[in-house]
Structures are given as C-alpha cells and as structure tokens.
A and B are shown apart, each in its own frame.
Chain A
Amino acid sequence: MEFFKIRKDIPFMRHALVFNVISLITFVAAVFFLATRGLHFSVEFTGGTLIEVSYPQAADTQKIRESLAKAGYTDTQVANFGSSRDVLIRMPLRPGQDSAALGSSIMGTLQQDVAGAELKRVEFVGPQVGRELAENGAIALLLVVFGIIVYLALRFEWRFAVSAIIANLHDVVIILGFFAFFQWEFSLPVLAAVLAVLGYSVNESVVVFDRVRENFRKMRKASVPQVIDNAITSTISRTIITHGSTQLAVLSMLIFGGEVLHYFALALTIGILFGIYSSVLVASPLVMWLGVSREQFVKPQKPKEEAVV
C-alpha cells in the first residue's frame, strides 16, 4: 500500500509566498486573541483551590452553586468535569485561608445536600508557587529555543536554525492562540505538550533540511528552489505518515485519557497539524529567502566521496 505516488516534484516554492501569507494571517489572529482574550490559566499558575467531587447521580451545578453561596463561598466557579456526575469547583485565593479546612467544610456543605457525594481531589496552590511555575515555564521555553538553534546551527547552518525555530515558534503561538480563543484551560501538562511539540515539529524541518543538504551535493545543476522542491516532495510521504502515527497515539489519549489528559492531547493535536504545515511550507521558503546556496555545503570536497567514485 502506498498513499503518495508522486512522479514529479511538486513546485512548492513557486507558491511559497501564498503559504507564508496564510501562516502570517493565522499567526496575527493568534496573537490578537492572546492579546485580547488572554489565556485561561489553571489553578497551578494563578494560585487558588480546586475541588473535584463525584456524585452518585447527575449533579445539579446550579444547586451546588447556591448552597455554596449560602455557606459564604460566593466567588466560586462550579462546572461539570468529564461526566455529568463529576463536578469541579474552583476558588480564587483568599488571604489567611486554611486550605485543608476549606476542603472539608465545602465537602460538609455538599454532603448535606446529596448524601453520596465523594471527594475525588483537592488542589491548593499558593500565590508564590504559581508565579514560579510561570517563570520556570518561560525559562524552559527560552532554553529549548536556544538549544535547538545552537544544535541546528552546528549540524547545518545558521539559516536553517533560524528558519526552523521561526516556523516552530509560530506553531507554539498558534497553539496558544487556540487556547486563548476557546478559553481552554492552560495547565502544566499543556505547557509540557507545547514544549514537546516544539521539539517534535523541529524534527520535520530537520528531515527536510537533511534532504536539502543531500540534494545540494547530488543535484549539481538544479536551482535552489528545485532542490528544495525535490527535498519536500521526496519526504512528504514520510512526513504525513509519521505525523499520522503520532496523531493515532494522541487521538487514543484524546478519547480514552479522560479530562486530565484532554487539553494535553488537544494541544498536541493542534501542534502536530500545524507542525506539518509550518515546518515544511514555512521553514523551507524562509531558508530560501535567507539566501541558502550550494556553496555553503559543497565547498570542502569531502575526500571520502572521492574515494568512493
């Protein structure tokens, strides 16, 4: 079986401008939503208390809200979590509040209404911890970007490193844009997914760049766009199959992983889909425009190759 039987190189580079305009528009839209709506950060980042309660029958969130308000907890968010029987209660930080007492007092209130309510988890995060997590996340992102640029610059050439990282950071911004637009919860696992996507979709660029380098040595008479077109065409089958396989695993997580892994899997899905697009159709034109040329790769004739010939 074979999905792609491409006999001639597809002239990707001829339409490079179109692809880049498309991704520029998506990028600007993502930035716009990030700026206007902002991310909906989870308790881990903002600090606060989160209580998950499981009910024997479908839970009436309106009633829960009312009885909590009656007990003096007015600024709570109550929402179903996963199923109609599970409820997630979020509370902002209040100064001088004892988190353990809070958990048990809320459970007391809820159990008065419905006898079989069961506490599934309580998470309390203090304000300084949240701030640190956000800081560490930012540092981790910078470290990944820096590490990848250095590695690619060493293995290839700075033009490749810069285009790969631009293409993939644009993926990251788009994932964040989605989270801002839909106001999905941005939690620590989502941050992990975003960084994993960054490392993963750079792979795509690496695979294409590897081919570009190889083609510069093999296709002596071809122009730069031809070389890149050939590299993309010959790797596109692998790119789609690999991403498809990874997406199979992520899809399985999206279906079976439950609520905790839901946004993690969602972030990966967006990352994988945009990863294919950006690393192939954004990174390659960038390399071309940054002025890559055959001389940068074939200057020193390798003695090994001569020996083979």
Chain B
Amino acid sequence: MNRYPLWKYILIAVALTLGLLYTLPNFYGEAPAVQVSSIKTAVKVDVKLLGRVEETLKAAGIAHDGLFADQNSVRVRFGDTETQLKARDTIERALNPDAENASYVVALNLLTRSPAWLTSLRALPMYLGLDLRGGVHFLLQVDMKGALTKRLDATAADLRSLMRDKGVRHGGIARERDQIAIRFRDAETRNKARAVVENAQPDLLLTEAQDGADFRLTAVLRPEAQQRIQEFAIKQNITTLHNRINELGVAEPVIQQQGADRIVVQLPGVQDTAKAKDILGRTATLEVRLVDDENSQNPVVMEEAAKGQPPVGTEYYVERSGAPLLVRKQVVLTGDRLTDAQPGFDSQTHEPAVHLTLDSAGARIFKDVTRDNVGKRMAILLIEKGKGEVITAPVIRTEIGGGRVQISGRMSTVEANDVALLLRAGSLAAPMEIVEERTIGPSLGAENIERGFKSTLYGFIAIAVFMVIYYLMFGLISVVALSTNLLLLIALLSMLQATLTLPGIAAIALTLGMAIDANVLINERIREELRNGVTPQAAIAAGYERAFGTILDSNVTSLIAGLALLIFGSGPVRGFAVVHCLGILTSMFSSVVVSRGIVNLVYGGRRKLAGLSIGNVAWKK
C-alpha cells in the first residue's frame, strides 16, 4: 500500500552514498604539514621543486607521510608537529641558503589525513573560518579619491608639457580639488588649447568659463574614466597585497575584493598583527639608475665592491643573470613616473619584452638621459624595504623619446610577464586604510570548535531521546531522518567548501532543532488520522500528504529570512545564513522523502497492519 517506486529508493541511496563520501574527510582529522611556495613570481613551482624537497628530506633522514604538488605549492605531510618543525627548518635552509634573499615561502600548514582517493574525488573536509582556526582578518578600504587625485596630478603635469610642446601660452595649470583649471589671456588661445587637449586627453571632459579678464578651461575626468581608474586601482592593490603577503609565509591567505572599494585579507595562523600590518602597508618602488660601466668592468674594483666596499657614489648589485655590477646612487627616475607596464614582444627581434609607459615628465627626463648616455648601461631596480634588486640592466642603443620604454634581452615570456607584474605591483595605486580588524588566538579557535561541537551533539541527543520516547517507532524513524539531514548538510558544506564559522555551527544546531518540526507535524497528523478511525496504512498516507503543504509553507518563510540574511549579512551573519539556508533545503529532503522511505520499508509492505508504533491514540473514543 505505502510503497515507493524503485527510483525513489535509488535517489535516497545515491544521496546517502554521496553524503557519506563527502562527510568522510571530516573524520580523518588533519596532519601537520609544510608548504613550500614561491615568493618571486619569476620562480615557478614545478616537479623539480618537488624532487628537491624530497631529496632534502631524504638527506636529512626525515620521514614524511606523503608529498603533494599543485599549481602554486608543494606540500609535505608529517606524522607529528615535532617532525614538521624540524622539516620546516631543513627545507628552509636548503631552499633559501641566503635568508636575506629568499625565493621560497616555507610555511607550516595543516593537511587532511584523508586517503588520496577521497581527495581525488574532491572530497575535502569543511573549510574552517578564522574564528575556528585562529588568525588575522583585515578589511581594507581603498581611498578611491586618493587614486583619482593622484591621476589628476599626473594629468595636470601632462597638460603642462603638452601646452609647451604645442606652443600654447597659458596663465597657469592647477588642480583644484577634483578638477584641473587652466587659465588663458584670451578666448582664441583657449579655443586652440581646447582642441589640443581634446585630441590628446580623451578622458577629460572640458568646460569653458570666464572670470573677469580670466578665460578658464576646466577639465574633469569622465565618469567612465573615473570608473576605469578605480577598478584598476583596486586590482593593482590586490596584486600588490598578494606579493607582499607571500613574504609573510602564510599557508592559505585569502585576498578578495569586497564591494566596490574594499579588500578583505585573511591570514589564517598569523598571530603577529603588527608585523602583518607593517608588511601590508609597505611601499615598493621602481628606480631607474645608470650603471658605472667603467668600474663594473674592472675586476679589482669589483672584488672590493663584493666585499662591501664599492667606489664612492655607487652601489654593488648582482643582476638576475648572476652578473655583478655597480650602479650609481643617483636616481634618474622613480616608479611614480610609471603609468603602466605590459608584457609583449620586441617588434624587430620578436624577443619577449616588457613595455613601460611613462608620464610626460618622466618621458622628458628619460629622453634627456638616454640621449646623453647612448652606449652605456642603465639599471632598472625594484626597491622594497629599502633593499634594491636589479631586474635588468640593458644597454642604451638610441635616444628614447615619447615615454614608451621597452625592456628586453635574456628574458623568457614567463619572465617578461612576471617583470611586468612586478613593476605594476610594486606600489599601491591608491592609499588604503584598515577599517576592520579581527585577531583570533589559536586557543580560542580550538575552544570555539569544541563549544560548537558540544552544542550540536547534546542538542541532537536531547531531541533524539525525546522523539523516541514520545513517538516510539516513528520517533526513531524521525531521528534517523534527522541524522540523514545532518549528514547531508555536512556533506554539502564540505562539497561547496563554504566557510564554516562558529555562528555556522550554531546554525547547524538550530537547523536540527527546527528540522524536527516537519516530522512532528507528520507524526501528529498520523496520530490524528488514527484517532479518527482511519486504517494504519491510510493514516500514514494521509499524514504525509496533508502535512506536506504545511511543511512547505513553513520552510519557505524560514528560507525568506535566511536569504535576506545571506544577501545583506556580512561576516558572522553570512556564515550563519549559508548554513541556515542549506539546512532548510536538506531538511525538506530528509524529513519528508527519507523518513517516508523508511516508513514504507518498515510498514508499507504489510497487508494486515493492526496498529502503528506511534504511541497510544485510543483515548479519544
């Protein structure tokens, strides 16, 4: 009488199998691991690195539990924390012989202990939020006005040299808040200037005004240009942050854009906020200087310089190719003059190259310097933390004008890409300010996990005991359905790799308490039908059928609240909302479909069913 078609049983079986499979990794726990990733964008993580790490460990006699490589890192799993710490130091020494000039980040991390076949199915344990694993969370506000001001200042300088080049006489160019004002003696010059500016700077919106004898031309950035500048600013800031955080040695940093002008930075495991902040706020710049060619070719001087005694007015550097050279201290150009850097190819030799674009003032300086120094070498340095690195030192072949500079020679396409990125990412496009900060100690994280786990466990036990006492067999079936709900919910969270936070665990506990509502509705309905004298089989069918409409309505209203939280919530509220919404969906399936399936299996096949084990219902008659 109460039978499910085969496909429904298959559906339940498939859901349960998937649920079990994806919940499984959560039971294995995590093992201490060491993660090696590259700091320098030019140094790639590849199979060779994996081999190197393996050999290093073998040579030091450190046993490991498995080596894994993905696109960005090599990870080694260890049996205990002691071995992990020992291995970290060994690998660090082997890969970064020069601590001052490290190429790799060797960080401590945790890796799941689940077997490889599970991991290959992309079955991973739930992703724990910062409040559960400890770490630092920053919310940075990008100063968009600052980015625009910076751009306007540069544009004002460009306009000055443009006017000079075109021979247009003006009475002053100045930035006044968010516009640039140019003054003229007469309307005719102004008209001429207008044509020139419109031609050269399509991003500017020009308006004319007259103030007494003053003929003014004011320029503002077009809205679309403003938007482009802002988007560029936030992207560049994110790239810069990425590069900087790499040096912190954080295993799994999260750097994401939030809204139009905010960046979220999460550093799991980092406790030293002050250091983290110092590194986030640091500036890196590009410098162009001339090479002291004469002394660089003198082996005696070079030997002295390598010992730390370079000739006066120069500094000793080693180029990326390994060749040492002396660079003059006098700075020709700084990164402030750089407006863009893109990878590309040399138009004649088809060698990989990096194309730099300078602003007008920079272009003029560059033109003068190259004209005066044809045949000499010029070094391009990246300065970080007061420490420089020569990226390249090409020979100047001709005078270079127009502000377009090409760096080429001894570069692969990958390197060209990386140098361009490095130059772009060297400095922040716009100032940033920390508007929210959270630090959670590791002990608090572990405490929070335990609290959340206990709340859920004891809540579940209490409900289970009550249900079995109150509804007997049907109570037991409801509890099995509720367990399925828990299983599916955890599997879903693991599958989606949604961030689990303490409010998220609270949502799991709450979902259990609320999900049982559906089964209570069904069981009460069945009792009522029995009381009205309906046969047991008909009571089951009617109970489930009639209760379903109510269950649907009540879940939809809960879901409306959950979705609103999901859309407008942030931080802890969002963590709650994700689990809450998913829990409502899984509970619909488990409390209606799964529990009916079990009821059908237990009672459905019996033709002569005298009664149901759902408690005494004979009192009304």
Q: How far is the CA of A249 from the CA of B465 in the complex (A)?
A: 12
Say whether A241 faces chain B, with CB atoms less than 8 Å apart: yes
Residues 526-566 (chain B) with a chain A CB within 8 angstroms: 527-528, 546, 549-550, 553-554, 556-565
Say whether A189 faces chain B, with CB atoms less than 8 Å apart: yes
Residues of A near B467 (CB, < 8 A) are: 245
Q: How far is the CA of A53 from the CA of B582 in the complex (A)?
A: 35
Say whether A144 faces chain B, with CB atoms less than 8 Å apart: yes
Residues 1-28 (chain A) with a chain B CB within 8 angstroms: 1-2, 5, 7
Residues of B near A101 (CB, < 8 A) are: 274
Q: How far is the CA of A189 from the CA of B527 in the complex (A)?
A: 38
Say whether A296 faces chain B, with CB atoms less than 8 Å apart: no
Given contacts A125-B436, A129-B435, A147-B560, A100 and B277 within 8 Å (CB-CB): yes
Distance (whole angstroms) from the CB of B472 to the closest CB of chain A: 8
Say which residue of A100, A124, A234 sits within 8 Å of B436 (CB atoms).
A124
Distance (whole angstroms) from the CB of B455 to the closest CB of chain A: 4
Say which residue of A118, A120, A245, A251 sits within 8 Å of B520 (CB atoms).
A245
Residues 167-207 (chain A) with a chain B CB within 8 angstroms: 188-189, 191-192, 195-196, 198-200, 202-203, 206-207
Given contacts A52-B444, A124-B434, A192-B573, A252 and B509 within 8 Å (CB-CB): yes
Say which residue of A1, A140, A207, A242 sits within 8 Å of B565 (CB atoms).
A140
Nearest residue in A to B555 (C-beta to C-beta)? A203
Distance (whole angstroms) from the CB of A81 to the closest CB of chain B: 11
Q: How far is the CA of A212 from the CA of B554 in the complex (A)?
A: 15
Say whether B192 faces chain A, with CB atoms less than 8 Å apart: no
Among A151, A245, A264, max chain B CB count under 10 A is at: A245
Nearest residue in A to B554 (C-beta to C-beta)? A203
Residues of A near B572 (CB, < 8 A) are: 188-189, 192
Interface string of B427-464 (1 = CB under 8 A from A): 00000011111111101100110011011111110110
Say whether B497 faces chain A, with CB atoms less than 8 Å apart: no
The segment from B15-23, B40-48, B286-294, B613-621 that touches chain A is B613-621
Q: How far is the CA of A151 from the CA of B576 in the complex (A)?
A: 23
Nearest residue in A to B458 (C-beta to C-beta)? A252
Say whether B400 faces chain A, with CB atoms less than 8 Å apart: no
Interface string of B561-589 (1 = CB under 8 A from A): 11111011111110011001000000000
Say whether A126 contacts B455, CB under 8 Å.
no
Say whether B139 faces chain A, with CB atoms less than 8 Å apart: yes
Say whether A210 faces chain B, with CB atoms less than 8 Å apart: yes
Say whether B513 faces chain A, with CB atoms less than 8 Å apart: yes
Say whether B440 contacts A121, CB under 8 Å.
yes
Say which residue of B521, B556, B573 sits within 8 Å of A189 (CB atoms).
B573
Residues 329-347 (chain B) with a chain A CB within 8 angstroms: none
Given contacts A140-B568, A253-B506, A242 and B440 within 8 Å (CB-CB): no
Say whether A192 contacts B577, CB under 8 Å.
yes
Q: How far is the CA of A242 from the CA of B512 in the complex (A)?
A: 11
Say whether A192 contacts B434, CB under 8 Å.
no
Say whether B470 faces chain A, with CB atoms less than 8 Å apart: yes
Interface string of A135-147 (1 = CB under 8 A from B): 0110111011001
Given contacts A198-B561, A238-B521, A261 and B569 within 8 Å (CB-CB): no
Residues of B near A124 (CB, < 8 A) are: 434, 436-438
Q: How far is the CA of A2 from the CA of B614 in the complex (A)?
A: 10
Given contacts A238-B520, A245-B513, A253-B459, A122 and B438 within 8 Å (CB-CB): yes
Residues of B near A268 (CB, < 8 A) are: 510
Say whether B454 contacts A256, CB under 8 Å.
yes
Say which residue of B433, B458, B615, B620 sits within 8 Å of A256 (CB atoms).
B458
Known: A148-B557, A192-B572, A261-B506. 9 other contacts (CB 8 A): A2-B617, A99-B434, A100-B276, A136-B569, A140-B569, A248-B513, A253-B506, A255-B455, A261-B452
Can you name 28 A-B pairs with beta carbons within 8 Å? A1-B469, A2-B615, A2-B619, A52-B444, A100-B273, A118-B441, A125-B435, A126-B435, A140-B564, A141-B564, A147-B564, A152-B557, A188-B573, A189-B572, A189-B576, A206-B554, A207-B521, A210-B549, A241-B524, A245-B513, A245-B516, A249-B460, A251-B459, A252-B455, A252-B458, A252-B459, A256-B458, A257-B452
Of all A-B residue pairs in the complex, the 3 with the closest CB atoms, nearest first, are A199-B561, A249-B513, A126-B435
B interface residue numbers (CB < 8 A to A): 131, 139, 141, 271, 273-274, 276-277, 433-441, 443-444, 447-448, 451-452, 454-460, 462-463, 466-467, 469-470, 502-503, 506, 509-510, 512-514, 516-517, 520-521, 524, 527-528, 546, 549-550, 553-554, 556-565, 567-573, 576-577, 580, 615-617, 619-620
